[in-house]
Structure 1
Amino acid sequence: MQLVLLAGQSNMAGRGTVEAEDRVPHPRVLMLDRDGRWIPAVDPVHFDKPIAGVGPGRSFGLALAARDTTAVVGLVPTAVGGSSIRAWVPAGYDSATRTHPYDDAVARIRLARSSGAFVAILWHQGESDGDARGVAEYEGRLRELIARLRAETGAPNAPFLIGELGHFPEKPWTPGRAAIDSIHRLVAATTPNAAYVSAEGLTHRGDTLHFSSAAARELGRRYAAAYARLESVERH
Structure 2
Amino acid sequence: MGLPPDPPPAASPREVPPGELAALGIKVAASTVWKIPREHGIPPAPKRQSTTWADFLRSQAAALLACDLFETRTPTGARMYVFAVIEHSTRRIRILGATAHPTAEWIVPLGRNLVMDLEDAGSNARFLTRDRDAKCTAAFDALPADAGLKVVTTGIRMPRMNSLMERWIQTCRRELLDRTLIRNQSHLLYALREFETFYNEHRPHRTLKQAAPLRALPEPISVPAHIGHMEVPRRDRLGGTLREYRHAA
Instruction: With the length of structure 2 as denominator, give the TM-score of the two structures.
Output: 0.27
Please identify the structure whose Cα radius of gyration is greater: 2
Higher relative contact order structure (alpha carbons within 8 Å, sequence separation ≥ 6): 1
Instruction: With the length of structure 1 as denominator, give the TM-score of the two structures.
Output: 0.29
